[in-house]
């Protein structure tokens, strides 16, 4: 079995890894670290929770600091030597936290910049000089246009969660940033899924890349116990309250499709005496951070989130994920349930399904190549939804998803771009 000690990382980095209590790298780390240490470009297909942040952070720190832990050149004001681009504020902050943790014994400076907060402290940090910059596209472009950051000294460029970056409408911003980075560089791109849009971006960005995969695309985490509850739409909140009487659901992440839906569910839980909060794109950054901190500390038992806002959430000890509303994209289901059963622990994913969501469930089960076990032993079980004969008979061409029905045209709109 491979251990970190066998990956030829600098001793200060190995010491930091040991400080964290890690000895054995994950599959994505075993596959990614050696080629990145060799200076190769890399295309990584990996879902959240697989250890992909360390997969690119460790070789990056090794390259910049060297064996002795002292970088060859002092950091220059406004000119980072490495750039990591992330789609959300939360993910950018967590990547920076990981860099600081793994680089605690190194003489390297890192910084993170994102929107939703004052740019002044970020500019001051850039002016003092940094080696690694972690950024979201919007704020980075703003500071580039102001002359507060230059990318002409970047040696390593890492694009994380490329599929979500494109889903959020950042493709133009990303291309502008790529144009400002030197052509001679090492590049790594990580994505949980590999649609044509990401493949096209990767082909123009990477040079003779090594392709690695932590697991086949669009498969579920094996240790997640999945369950489906058929329930009428107007009974979902009552079912949620009933389930949360179980104290084994100690730290639960609840997903809705909309921001307003997240707020309504969080308010309902608070009214029933369950400590909760919502996190989504309309929340101010400090409010989002307070919610995350409370969820991590345990003062908030239930965190209600939309898909985009939750993409950067990496909280240990999430015992359950509840899909209050099923996602209309099967890949989002995979991302959602991957928030539990992390770091070797088990976890449970519970999904509520009303009549309109039967088509979503059908697509999810087709994508994950298995049927989700149905739980009938609850007070709101809807047999008429579970036994819908029409859905079983209709083929994929005749099956209309709710998002395709004229009576609710708003669902056909693309998700709004989240300011970063």
d(CA 197, CA 195): 5
DSSP H stretches of helix in 311-351: 330-337
Strand partners, 276: 302
pLDDT at 72: 66
Q: Would residue 189 count as lying in a domain? A: yes
DSSP for 202-261 reads HHHH-SSPEEEESS-TT---TTEEEEEEE--GGGHHHHHHHHTT-TT--SEEEE-SSHHH
User: Which of 163, 184, 213 delimits the end of a domain?
Assistant: 213
On whether both 159 and 300 belong to a single domain, the answer is no
pLDDT at 311: 64
User: Which of 163, 188, 213 delimits the end of a domain?
Assistant: 213
Q: Would residue 134 count as lying in a domain? A: yes
Q: Compute the residue count for the chain.
A: 420
Query: pTM to 2 decimals?
Result: 0.66
* First and final C-alpha spacing in the chain: 41
Q: CATH number, domain at 147? A: 3.40.50.300
On whether both 198 and 228 belong to a single domain, the answer is no
Q: Using alpha carbons only, how large is the chain's radius of gyration in Å?
A: 22
On whether both 179 and 280 belong to a single domain, the answer is no
On whether both 284 and 397 belong to a single domain, the answer is yes
On whether both 165 and 305 belong to a single domain, the answer is no
On whether both 285 and 238 belong to a single domain, the answer is yes
Q: Would residue 419 count as lying in a domain? A: no
On whether both 170 and 239 belong to a single domain, the answer is no
User: Which of 194, 213, 232 delimits the end of a domain?
Assistant: 213
On whether both 231 and 105 belong to a single domain, the answer is no
Q: Would residue 327 count as lying in a domain? A: yes
d(CA 88, CA 281): 10
On whether both 171 and 29 belong to a single domain, the answer is yes
Give, for all 420 residues of the chain, the pLDDT tens digit.
478 988 889 999 999 999 888 888 989 999 999 999 999 999 999 876 678 999 999 999 999 987 666 776 789 999 999 999 999 888 899 899 999 999 999 989 999 999 988 999 999 999 999 999 999 999 999 999 999 999 999 999 999 999 888 877 899 999 999 999 999 999 999 998 888 889 999 999 999 999 998 865 445 556 789 999 999 999 999 999 999 999 999 999 999 999 999 999 999 999 999 999 999 878 877 888 889 889 989 999 999 998 876 766 778 889 999 999 999 888 788 888 888 876 656 789 999 999 999 999 998 888 888 899 999 999 999 999 988 744 443 333 333 333 333 333 333 333 333 333
d(CA 229, CA 115): 38
Q: Would residue 418 count as lying in a domain? A: no
On whether both 245 and 374 belong to a single domain, the answer is yes
User: Domain range holding 248?
Assistant: 224-412
Q: Would residue 164 count as lying in a domain? A: yes
Q: Would residue 351 count as lying in a domain? A: yes
pLDDT at 154: 97
Q: What are the CA-CA distances from residue 253 to residues 128, 212, 313, 331, 353 (Å)?
A: 38, 29, 10, 17, 17
pLDDT at 159: 97
On whether both 148 and 19 belong to a single domain, the answer is yes
Q: Would residue 218 count as lying in a domain? A: no
d(CA 376, CA 229): 7
- b (16+ CB within 10 A) / e for 2-11: eebeebebbe
Quote the number of domains for the chain: 2
On whether both 246 and 362 belong to a single domain, the answer is yes
């Amino acid at each position: 079995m491979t251990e970190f000690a066998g990956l030829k990382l600098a001793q200060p980095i190995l010491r930091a890894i040991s400080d964290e209590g890690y000895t054995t790298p994950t599959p994505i780390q075993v596959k990614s670290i050696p080629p990145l240490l060799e200076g190769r470009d890399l295309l990584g297909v990996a879902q959240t929770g697989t250890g992909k942040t360390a997969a690119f952070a460790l070789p990056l720190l090794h390259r910049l600091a060297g064996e002795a832990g002292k970088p060859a050149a002092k950091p220059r004001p406004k000119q980072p030597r490495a750039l990591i681009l992330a789609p959300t504020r939360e993910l950018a902050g967590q990547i920076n936290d990981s860099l600081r943790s793994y680089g605690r014994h190194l003489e390297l400076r890192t910084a993170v910049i994102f929107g939703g907060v004052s740019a002044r402290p970020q500019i001051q940090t850039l002016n003092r000089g940094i080696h690694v910059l972690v950024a979201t596209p919007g704020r980075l472009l703003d500071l580039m246009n102001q002359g507060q950051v230059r990318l002409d000294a970047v040696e390593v460029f890492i694009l994380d969660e490329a599929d979500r970056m494109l889903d959020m409408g950042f493709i133009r911003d990303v291309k502008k940033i790529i144009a400002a980075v030197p052509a001679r560089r090492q590049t790594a791109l990580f994505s949980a899924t590999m649609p044509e849009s990401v493949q096209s971006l990767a082909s123009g960005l990477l040079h003779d890349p090594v392709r690695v995969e932590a697991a086949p695309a669009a498969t579920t985490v094996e240790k997640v116990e999945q369950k489906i509850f058929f329930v009428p739409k107007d009974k979902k909140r009552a079912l949620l309250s009933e389930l949360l009487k179980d104290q084994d659901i100690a730290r639960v992440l609840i997903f809705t499709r909309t921001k307003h839906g997240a707020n309504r569910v969080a308010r309902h839980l608070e009214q029933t005496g369950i400590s909760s909060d919502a996190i989504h794109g309309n929340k101010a950054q400090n409010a989002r951070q307070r919610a995350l901190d409370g969820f991590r500390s345990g003062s908030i038992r239930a965190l209600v989130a939309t898909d985009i806002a939750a993409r950067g959430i990496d909280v240990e000890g999430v015992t359950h994920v509840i899909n209050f509303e099923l996602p209309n994209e099967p890949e989002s289901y995979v991302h959602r349930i991957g928030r539990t059963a992390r770091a070797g622990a088990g976890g449970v994913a519970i999904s509520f399904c009303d009549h309109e969501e039967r088509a979503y469930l059908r697509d999810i089960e087709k994508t994950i190549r298995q049927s989700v076990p149905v739980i009938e032993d609850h007070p709101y079980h809807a047999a008429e939804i579970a036994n819908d004969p029409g859905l079983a008979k209709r083929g994929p061409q005749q099956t209309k998803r709710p998002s395709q029905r004229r009576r609710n045209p708003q669902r056909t709109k693309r998700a709004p771009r989240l300011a970063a």
